[in-house]
Amino acid sequence: MFSLKNKNTIITGGGSGIGKAISLLFAKQGANVHIADINKEDAEDLTKEIENASGKAFAHQCNVADQQQVTEVFKKINKIDVLVNSAGVSHIGKAHTTSEADMDRLYSVNIKGVYNSLHAAIPLMQQQGCGIIVNICSIAAQVGLQDRFAYSMTKGAVYSMTLSVARDYLADNIRCNCVSPARVHTPFVDGFIAKNYPGKEKEMFEKLSKSQPIGRMAKPEEIAALVLFLCSDEAAFITGTDYPIDGGFLKLNN
């Protein structure tokens, strides 16, 4: 079950964090994994790791905010069976403390970056008569998270784009869904805590972990497993749906 054997998959932001976990799992399930990441070294290192485990992977340096770069990378790959939009950036701030530069930065990556990938991939999927898209969204799209004004805005857009794409390309046999994690323990989280709470790393890690009713953060591999299911033939009847993977955050926090 959940085989992606010989399927061409592209994961944006696939060289680190959640994207890395997805790249590794897809390769394990037999996919030809195309890792598109702004960090060339991350993409190349992960490609070698996958190849050393007898998987198939290809590294592409790509800034998703640059439509020309995205188009060139996708045309080079040519056949895309699965697209996972995982590239993203975060920001801490309220409406009055968020600068115009930060707002533009989050828009460029989290919204325009997803659009650029969709814009490049969908025509290729139409030509072959099928395709699967999964967007990495967030619980921030559905609830008011403190100090996450710009980030929440962008994830709300990802959720809306998911619904639009799922509706617009039904006749092309293109499925589109999204997953909405709560906090996921990645190197980004560790770096954020170290930068903003020096000397209180352990205390803040426990506090952030316990904000999920289940009592911990998600593992990147757990997010990857859900994405794999949605990209597999076993999920062929699922489209236009958001899947919270949040340790009970949305329903059990009172």
pLDDT of residue 248: 96
CA neighbor of 103 nearest in space, from 150, 63, 71, 135: 150
pLDDT of residue 31: 98
pTM for this entry:
0.96
Beta strands in the chain (DSSP E): 8-12, 32-37, 56-61, 82-85, 131-136, 174-181, 242-245
Check whether 253 has a pLDDT greater than 90: no
Q: Residue 245 forms beta bridges with which residues?
A: 181
All structural domains of the chain:
8-182+220-248 (3.40.50.720), 183-217 (no CATH)
Q: Which of 115, 151, 159, 169 is catalytic?
A: 151
**Average pLDDT of the residues in 246-252:** 95
4 in Cβ contact with 82 (< 8 Å): yes
Alpha carbon separation from 125 to 158, 209, 253 (Å, rounded): 20, 39, 40
Q: How many Cβ atoms are within 10 Å of 243's Cβ, its own excluded? A: 18
* pLDDT tens-digit series, residues 84-133: 999 999 999 999 999 999 999 999 999 999 999 999 999 999 999 999 99
**Average pLDDT of the residues in 32-36:** 98
- Look up residue 217 and give its DSSP letter: P
Counting beta carbons within 10 angstroms of the beta carbon of residue 133, is it exposed (0 to 12), middle (13 to 18) or buried (19 or more)?
buried
151 catalytically annotated: yes
Please list the helix, strand and coil fractions of the chain in percent, rounded to the nearest 5, in that order: 50, 15, 30
CA pair distance 36, 68, nearest whole angstrom: 14
Q: Which two tokens stand for residue 47?
A: 């490609």
Confidence of residue 249 (pLDDT cuts 50, 70, 90): very high
Among 12-16, 36-40, 183-187, the minimum mean pLDDT is found in 183-187
* pLDDT tens-digit series, residues 147-179: 999 999 999 999 999 999 999 999 999 999 999
pLDDT of residue 196: 81
Check whether 243 has a pLDDT greater than 80: yes
CA pair distance 226, 221, nearest whole angstrom: 9
The mean pLDDT of the chain is 96
pLDDT of residue 254: 65
**Average pLDDT of the residues in 134-144:** 96
pLDDT of residue 195: 86
Complete edge-to-edge strand list for the sheet that includes strand 8-12: 56-61, 32-37, 8-12, 82-85, 131-136, 174-181, 242-245
**Average pLDDT of the residues in 136-147:** 95
**Average pLDDT of the residues in 136-157:** 96
Q: Residue 131 forms beta bridges with which residues?
A: 174
